[in-house]
Structure 1
Amino acid sequence: MTQGRSIRLFLVDGTPNGLLTAEIMNWTGHVLTGPRSKLSELVQRPECGRAGIYFLVGPDPENSLRPLVYIGESDDVGTRLKQHNRPEVIAGSGGGKDFWEKVCLVTSKDQNLTKAHVKYLESLLIQNAGQVGRCKLINGTAHDYVNLPESDRADMAFFIDQIRTVLPVLGLDFLRDRPMPSSLKSSLEPEAPPSSPRFVAEVPRHGIKAYGQEIDGEFFVLEGSLARGKWTGVDGGYQGLFQQLCDDGVLVETEAGLRRFATDYAFSSPSAAAAVVSGRSANGREHWKVEGLGQTYAAWQDQKVSAAAARAEGAEEA
């Protein structure tokens, strides 16, 4: 079982939408984040005068599913952020000049991060964000930077692990691992990875059959699953998500006029997954059923909750 961790959050100005710092016990890193509207206050803080890496985050007007992200480094983060706030295109990015709405910077409390360290961190984080695929990077291609001693590279690997732990807590998910069920086991084999049972959603009259699995709080529809060929429900709802997945090549056309999942895809809920599979709004808690049992997702989840409550009650009595 994964061991728990404590993350210390501090609201600098006492408001949830202002500046926020985050620290992890036994980690020298220090995280500072806030909205662009607070940039004038953020750049006055002492952290901004240190070497570090930073993330500029904003919405992608062409894709509501993923944010735009720019990952940078500097030996004086405050000065670099002031440059990025000017009404010009980010140098070398090829992206829009005013896309970002939130900034996050990571420095070191012991001030031992050097220019070489942050360049190395930037290179690895750009590669990692591209591999995870939860955002659209403004940076373009990452530059390999390996000019560090072996011991320093090991320290930076630990540093990155902590960054990937703390950023999702701050609402920045673009570095969070995306477990792919089909990489663990072929998605159409009868046995599923142990995270949850495998679920099935069917619309027999249209020849639709999809497989799903819940992993790490997300509901995955597995590669090879079939979905409706087009959206047939009312406008709105998950219609935009359906169309975006078609445009992104996640849902590809089949000769039978259906759509096939070209890869595993993580949805925020069983209902979102069921709607995309069905091409219309659907109650995923009832639509998805445990393969081989016919038990609905709702009943399966209730069974899990009841079993956990019974174990807790038994432990108290003991």
Structure 2
Amino acid sequence: MTQGRSIRLFLVDGTPNGLLTAEIMNWTGHVLTGPRSKLAELVQRPECGRTGVYFLVGPDPDDSLRTRVYIGESDDVAQRLKTHNRPEDAGGKDFWERVCLVTSKDQNLTKAHVKYLESKLIGIAASAGRCVLSNGTAHEYAGLPESDRADMAFFLEQIRTVLPVLGFEFLRELSKPSAPVTGDNLPTIERSPLFRREVPKEGGYALAQEIDGEFFVLKDSRARSKWGGAPGGYEALFKQLVADGVLVPDPSGLLRFVDDYAFKSPSAAAAVVAGRSSNGRTAWLVDGTGQTYAAWQDQQLSALQPALEDA
């Protein structure tokens, strides 16, 4: 069983949309994040004068359904952020709306450490595929002794733990249903049964599985060949998946998923498969039983009821 961790969050100005700090017990790292509108306050914080890595996050200008991220490092993050705040034609970056800075409470992070972290973080974000990176290809940085690399591996693990808690998902690895399950990750991965969704009137079907809280439509599932529902809704997502090559034409006349794809909800997945708006809680059926996704969820809760009554 994975061990729990304690994360301490502090609202600097007492509001949920202002500056926020985060720390994990027994970790020397310190996280500071806030909106671009609070940049003048953020750069005055002592953390911004330290050596650290930072993330600029915002919607991708070319596709608002995607998140764009820039990952950087600096000995003086405040100065670097001031540069990034300039207009694009003056050497800045226009896309970002939030910034996240990771430094060390004991100030033991060196320039070599953060260059190594930056390289690893760019590679992790590219591999996860949850964002569009503004960085180029990550350059392997091997200028650290073996003991320091071990320390930075632990530091990276804590960064990847705390950032999703703050709403930054781009470093979180996708645990795809088709990925092999090893002895190392078997205890931490929760998998649902397979769900099935028919493609109306066209004879195809899709299979899906919920894993670690994400709803995946499985590779080689079929979807309707074009959007046939009312404009709006998940139409933009359907067209994006076609444009990105996630859905490709199949000899059957349908579209085929070339890989497992994680949707934000069962309804989003059901709508893309059907080519129209759809209630995923009733459209997805447990494969082989006909039980709806909603009924399956209720069954999980009902199974807990005796234990709750005995508690």
Using structure 2 for the length normalisation, give the TM-score.
Answer: 0.95
Q: Would you say the 8 A contact 2:200–2:274 is kept in 1?
A: no
What SS does structure 2 have at the residue aligned with 1:256? coil
Q: Would you say the 8 A contact 1:84–1:90 is kept in 2?
A: no
Q: Distance in 2 between matches of 1:238 and 1:107?
A: 39
Structure 2 gap ranges (5+): 182-188
Query: After alignment, is 58-67 or 138-147 more displaced?
Result: 58-67
Structure 1 gap ranges (5+): 186-192
Using the TM superposition, give the Cα deviation of residue 207 of structure 1 relative to its aligned residue in structure 2, in angstroms. Answer: 1.5
Q: For residue 166 of structure 2, what is the amino acid of its counterpart? A: L
Are 2:175 and 1:179 aligned? yes
The correspondence for 2:282, drawn from 242, 263, 286, is 286
Using the TM superposition, give the Cα deviation of residue 3 of structure 1 relative to its aligned residue in structure 2, in angstroms. Answer: 1.8
Using the TM superposition, give the Cα deviation of residue 311 of structure 1 relative to its aligned residue in structure 2, in angstroms. Answer: 1.9
Q: Which runs of 4+ in 1 moved over 4 A?
A: none
Q: Distance in 1 between matches of 2:64 and 2:236?
A: 9
Q: For residue 173 of structure 1, what is the amino acid of its counterpart? A: E
Q: Distance in 2 between matches of 1:125 and 1:52?
A: 13
Using the TM superposition, give the Cα deviation of residue 229 of structure 1 relative to its aligned residue in structure 2, in angstroms. Answer: 0.3
Q: For residue 304 of structure 2, what is the amino acid of its counterpart? A: A
Q: What is residue 170 of structure 1 aligned with on the other side? A: 166
The number of residue pairs the alignment matches comes to 304
Using the TM superposition, give the Cα deviation of residue 282 of structure 1 relative to its aligned residue in structure 2, in angstroms. Answer: 0.8
Q: Would you say the 8 A contact 2:209–2:216 is kept in 1?
A: yes
Q: For residue 85 of structure 2, what is the amino acid of its counterpart? A: N
Change (3 A) 1:89 1:144: farther
The residue correspondences of 1:1-80 to structure 2 (distance < 5 A) are 1-80=1-80
Q: Distance in 1 between matches of 2:89 and 2:127?
A: 25
Q: What does the per-residue CA deviation read over 1:15-73, in whole Å, with 9 as the maximum and x for residues that have no partner?
A: 11110000000000000000111111100010011000000011113223321100000
Q: For residue 258 of structure 1, what is the amino acid of its counterpart? A: L
Q: Distance in 1 between matches of 2:158 and 2:210?
A: 25
Q: Distance in 2 between matches of 1:59 and 1:160?
A: 24
Q: For residue 222 of structure 2, what is the amino acid of its counterpart? A: L
Q: Distance in 1 between matches of 2:106 and 2:93?
A: 34
What SS does structure 2 have at the residue aligned with 1:140? coil
- Identical columns (%): 72
Q: Distance in 2 between matches of 1:159 and 1:295?
A: 44
Q: What is residue 84 of structure 2 aligned with on the other side? A: 84
The residue correspondences of 1:182-197 to structure 2 (distance < 5 A) are 182-184=178-180, 195-197=191-193
Q: Distance in 2 between matches of 1:81 and 1:261?
A: 40
